Amino acid sequence: MVRANRPWRLVPNLSLAIAGAAAGAAFGVFYSNI
């Protein structure tokens, strides 16, 4: 069951998604002020 779920393979994708969301939020904040 653990091998079927593979939770450790979700971590890089999740961190990449969080980084992308943070970059998008920062982009929106900086360019809304200009």
pLDDT digits (tens, 9 = 90+) for 1-34: 555 666 667 677 778 889 999 999 999 888 876 6
Looking at residue 9, the DSSP 8-state letter turns out to be G
Predicted TM-score (pTM) of the model is 0.56
Please state, in angstroms and rounded to a whole number, the distance separating the CA atoms of residues 3 and 5: 6
Predicted pLDDT of residue 12: 75
Phi, psi of 20 (to 5 degrees): -65, -40
Predicted pLDDT of residue 2: 54
Predicted pLDDT of residue 7: 66
Predicted pLDDT of residue 21: 94
Cβ-Cβ contacts under 8 Å for 30 (sequence gap 6 or more)? none
**Which H or E run contains 18?**
helix 10-33
Predicted pLDDT of residue 16: 87
Q: Which residue in 2, 23, 22, 20 sits closest to 12, CA to CA? A: 20
